[in-house]
Amino acid sequence: MQSNTNVDLSQTTSVVCEECKGTYFEQALVLRRVSSILTGTGKPGFVPIPVFKCSECGHVNGEFIPKELQSLN
């Protein structure tokens, strides 16, 4: 999460949900499975990737999805 206490909030813009126009968001995780070959432990693993989802409808705005994940499913 980005936070800068020296920012004048009057110089910022609102972020709204692309689906429902909600303005409240909560953090969620996208999990990516990692094969046992790549972990080096012989056991599969997971990589947690933090994103923000709308508190009202659960939608994740495109700008919150890391570029590396946008073409993956």
pLDDT at residue number 33: 95
Output DSSP code: residue 9.
Answer: G
- Write the pLDDT tens digit of every residue in 21-44: 999 999 999 999 999 999 989 899
Confidence grade of residue 70 (pLDDT, cut at 50, 70, 90): confident
Taking the CB of residue 17, how many other CB atoms lie within 10 A of it? 20
Domains of the chain, by residue range, sit at 17-70
Residue 63: per-residue pLDDT? 95
Burial (CB < 10 A; 0-12, 13-18, 19+), residue 54, is: buried
pLDDT at 5 over 70: yes
User: Is the pLDDT assigned to residue 12 strictly greater than 80?
Assistant: yes
